[in-house]
Chains A and B, each alone.
Chain A
Amino acid sequence: MSLYMRQRREGPEGGPGARRAVVDFGTPTLELTTRRLSSRIGVRSLTVTLVMAAIAVMIVIAMMAIGDFPLTIPDVLAALAGTGDEFHRVIVIEWRLPIALAALVFGALLGLGGAIFQSLTRNPLGSPDIIGFDAGSFTAVLVTMLVFGTRNYWTVATAAIVGGIVVAAVVYLLAFRGGIQGFRLIIVGIGVAAMLGSVNSYLITRANLQDAIAVGFWSAGTLSRTSWSNLVPAMLLAAVVVLGSALLASGLRQLELGDDGARAHGVALNRDRLLLMVLGVMTTAIVTAAAGPIGFIALAAPQLARRVAGTAGVGLASSAAMGALLLSAAHAIAVLSAMWFLPIPVGLVTVCIGGTYFIILLIREARRHL
């Protein structure tokens, strides 16, 4: 394995040491080459990704100190390291660590799913929460919980994934008219989401009171119910999704060039697109099954990451890091609000802040078209 680092405006290396002709990509890049695989990573986006991930981790560690039983940050770190007070270890490891991990993992998943769909639709608005896939997952979850009365994570997660995929397929088929056009897909998605929203409202208002209260808080999207028992299966599924996305990432880059370009570069177009869609739906389904629908992170993370990292397209890793950062920040707001004020589900924080961002995005888009 060899590692190159190239700086901007560096002349092409022609000396005897150079192994091949070097292309100037305009930005500093790291090149990672093994015998079978080579990949190029922009230095800036790599740095930004790592910095965002680090900030996210710091936020959730800080939030582990806050709660009904306040701890100091050294206490938390000691408990995480396995030393320190026994009681502190129980609080941190058993109660607060799953929630902290959920903020990171679910945020990253949402960012990843948003990046996949925004790349596939080549549209910043084409994220699963706008196209209504999470509404499909949520309907399936509601039916499972209220009609069949089970809370088992695997059952709920399977229902969420199946529901999401079915709705995705329906939306795609309805929007397909000799090809998929971004806005048509989004409007069809909004229509389908409106129907499912009605079904969801009906199910919630007609459920018995106890179920409705449990589902009501959860339906806004909350991390506070996360425990090891539902986090572990969610993380196993998340690992599958991350692995799959990493393998398909290069194909996704090619798909952004358009169908013909991608085909010319040897991408198995329909197979890759189908697999990517399934992975993208899985990201929201995993989160929805464990935490309820958490909106607008999938929409905002890839766009914010793109701007911070200064890349032309939507990057998967940087979007995931930004998603983790956003959900951690929203989690921090929810935790602080619970301490000073009243408990707010994290999904409401993301809807209020993310929705406002969405409105700003629309205004900018409208200005550009004039």
Chain B
Amino acid sequence: MPATAALAQPPTSVEDVTAAPQFLWRRRVLGLVVVLAALLAALFLSLLVGASMKTPAETWQGLVHPDGSEASLIVWTLRVPRTVLAVVAGTAFAVAGALIQAITRNPLADPGILGVNAGAGFAVTVGVGLLGVTGGPLFLWIAFAGALVATVLVYLIGSGGRGSASPATLVLAGVALSAVLGGIGTVMELFDPDTFRDVRRWGLGSVVVTDLSGVELMLPYLLVALVIALAISGSLNAIALGDDFATSLGAHVTRTRLLGIVAVTVLAGGGTALTGGIAFVGLMVPHVVRWFTGPDQRWVIAYSALAGPVLVLLADVLGRVVVIPSEIEVGLVTAVVGAPVLIALVRRKKASGL
């Protein structure tokens, strides 16, 4: 497969990465068509499928004529909010994953694996336990702050305080941090199981919401981070060649990294604050997207923003149907689907290099 071959060969100049051969252009256009078609199909399924099934015609009527009928109530109070949140969270996690993979040159990086979810979950546990916060904007901000601290901490741990971290070390650092924070969080839960049961449930990762006030609160920050991500994507191509090479090519390595980490934290932190954390989306999506786009980060990030929602929507739909009339949280579905991807990646020969 040419795209994998291009991945397997370390690029030696920026042109190798950015100047795409003809076949890659065709592939990108094809990819865009496929991703957009998949997104439409996933949106459609997400509005349609659930414990109380309506026909597509009824769903459509309920969607375009909100008249208080049963179908329109279901669509507008249950399906639309979770669909919107799934799209927002999918984009946030997928772009965060693509960014952190590029920044750390680590194909195994993912906000969930790196402990961002655990950090947010821990902060929420502390917030609920010590400050008595149960919802609203403050809840989101606390989760956000926790995710932020965890990201920085994992990066510092994984890199031993200086330099760039090796892929496996970063993953292990995330696992260790998740374990410790999860352990302390569980100790706190033992104080008062009733209060914390919801926190634990929240940490599984769910897009079930009844209103979009949280999304409205976080959306501006997520959009800014997305713009930053797209803006630095060109410099990330240079960073893929190594820090020294990138500097000699005129890229601001430190500035790019710093901006990138800010964007990752905002995206992953915001996504986690809204959903409780959906792991493996940031891992899977960029790898699938690279099939179509090749290694050019500008395309990888743009396509990830479109493909992330597809994955989260489909995982959510899957979670709704496997145990009807009950549901499985989307975070549990993505973990079951995503872990094999992680395994496949480490089995690949060039797993350590990107």
Contact = CB atoms under 8 A, between A and B. Distances in A.
Given A190-B342, A217-B190, A366-B165, 8 more contacts: A187-B108, A187-B346, A198-B332, A205-B204, A296-B179, A355-B177, A366-B158, A366-B169
29 contacts: A174-B347, A177-B347, A184-B347, A186-B172, A187-B171, A187-B346, A191-B346, A192-B343, A194-B113, A195-B335, A195-B339, A202-B328, A205-B200, A296-B179, A352-B180, A352-B187, A355-B179, A355-B180, A359-B177, A362-B172, A363-B160, A366-B157, A366-B159, A366-B165, A366-B166, A366-B169, A367-B161, A370-B160, A370-B162
Interface string B96-127: 00000000000010000100000000000000
Given A187-B168, A202-B332, A366-B166, A351 B183 contact: yes
A190 B169 contact: no
A199 B175 CA distance: 18
B336 A348 contact: no
Interface in A134-151: none
Contact of B180 (A198, A351, A363, A367): A351
A358 to B, nearest CB: 4
B187 A366 contact: no
A369 interface: yes
A197 B277 CA distance: 15
Contacts of A369: 166, 169
A220 B186 CA distance: 8
B190 A343 contact: yes
Given A352-B180, A359-B177, A195 B336 contact: yes
B191 interface: yes
B26 interface: no
A188 interface: yes
Interface in B165-220: 165-166, 168-169, 171-173, 175-177, 179-180, 182-184, 186-187, 190-191, 193, 200-201, 204
B340 interface: yes
A272 to B, nearest CB: 26
A242 B201 CA distance: 40
A348 B183 contact: yes
Interface of B: 108, 113, 157-163, 165-166, 168-169, 171-173, 175-177, 179-180, 182-184, 186-187, 190-191, 193, 200-201, 204, 279-280, 326, 328, 331-333, 335-336, 338-340, 342-343, 346-347, 351
A247 interface: no
Most chain A CB inside 10 Å of its own CB: which residue of B162, B190, B331, B343: B343
| Dominant secondary structure of chain A at its interface with chain B | helix
Contacts of B176: 355, 358-359, 362
Nearest to B328: A202
A210 to B, nearest CB: 13
Contacts of B280: 194
A95 B134 CA distance: 41
Interface string A331-370: 0000000000011110010011001101100111111011
Interface in A163-199: 174-175, 177, 183-184, 186-188, 190-192, 194-195, 197-199
Which 10 A-B residue pairings sit nearest by Cβ, starting from the closest?
A366-B160, A351-B183, A355-B180, A191-B342, A191-B339, A198-B335, A195-B339, A198-B332, A183-B168, A358-B176
Contact of A355 (B183, B279, B346): B183
A268 interface: no
Most chain B CB inside 10 Å of its own CB: which residue of A195, A343, A344: A195
A315 interface: no
A197 B335 contact: yes
A274 interface: no
B335 A194 contact: yes
A246 interface: no
A177 B280 CA distance: 24
Nearest to A356: B180
Interface in A115-143: 125, 130
A345 B186 CA distance: 10
A362 B347 contact: no
Contacts of B191: 342
A365 B332 CA distance: 32
A351 B204 contact: no
Contacts of B351: 184
Given A342-B191, A362-B157, A348 B186 contact: yes
A364 B176 CA distance: 14
Nearest to B181: A355
A265 interface: no
A191 B108 CA distance: 11
A186 B336 contact: no
A72 to B, nearest CB: 30
Given A201-B332, A358-B176, A342 B190 contact: yes
A207 interface: no
A201 B328 CA distance: 10
B158 A362 contact: yes
A344 B160 contact: no
A126 to B, nearest CB: 11
Most chain B CB inside 10 Å of its own CB: which residue of A175, A216, A366: A366
Contacts of A302: none
Contacts of A364: 160
B186 A174 contact: no
A367 B280 CA distance: 28
B264 to A, nearest CB: 20
A139 B163 CA distance: 39
A217 B193 CA distance: 11
Nearest to B189: A216
A213 interface: yes
A344 B335 contact: no
A114 interface: no
A183 B183 CA distance: 24
Contacts of A296: 179
Contacts of B279: 194
A197 B175 CA distance: 13
Nearest to B345: A187
Given A190-B171, A206-B326, A199 B336 contact: yes
B229 to A, nearest CB: 26
B190 A370 contact: no
A174 B347 CA distance: 8
Nearest to B203: A201
A295 interface: yes
